[in-house]
Structures are given as structure tokens and as C-alpha cells.
Amino acid sequence: MPGAQLGYTEVKIGFIPALVSVFLVRKIGEGRARELLLTGKLISSEKAREYGLINEVVPKAGIAGYVHQLATALCHEAAANSLKVTKQLIAGVLDMPLNEALEQAARLNAATRGHPECRRGIAAFLNKERPGW
């Protein structure tokens, strides 16, 4: 939402942002994480988007419509199994060495090719149709 701010202000009250720091460093890098976690300063929603903490800045009045549009697209433009396996892939390879991550991706790719949704999607593509998820 334009005008919204976020921050990790724990240091200002003598506390530490312990759990969030683990994820924040991975998400935005050590330098930016240090700046936010050590200063406790607030940043704008636009800066949070620039840092990669959020994907979109949506006006308050448009949030419900944006969420509905995104949810509808996920439900109707992507296969449920593909979404599930892709989420597992992203979560699983995050901290793996590159060669292990590539092997895991190849395994999931091969396994997914045998799923009925994949066969249905490929058939629809070849027939220039929509799979109708």
C-alpha cells in the first residue's frame, strides 16, 4: 500500500529480531539486512519492493481486487500439482549447493512429467487449447 512503512524495530526496545534475521539475510543480503536490523529504521513500501521484500505496492482500495485477480489466475491458469511441486522446489533448493539443487530440480521435473495434469496440459498445448484448470 502506498504510504505504508515496515521495519524491524526490535533493537529500539532492547530486543533482537532473531528469527526474522535468518530469513531476511537470505532474502535481501547481508548489507541491507544489517542496515534494517541494526538501525531499526522504517522503510517505505516502495523501498521494500525495491529490496525484494514485497512484490507489489497496491493502493488500499485495490487490495481486494488485486488479491482476487491473482488468486483467480493461479486457479485457472496453472495446474494444482505444478504449483505444489514448484513451491516444494523453491523451498527445497534454497540452501542447497548448486549441483544438488540442479539434481533435485531434474528429479522433480522427471516425476512431474508423469502426472496426469502434465499430460493434459501438454495435450492442450499441442491442440492449441486451454487445459481449463
Catalytic (active-site) positions: 10
C-alpha cell at 66: 488485486
Alpha-carbon distance of 70 to 116, in angstroms, equals: 25
DSSP 125: H
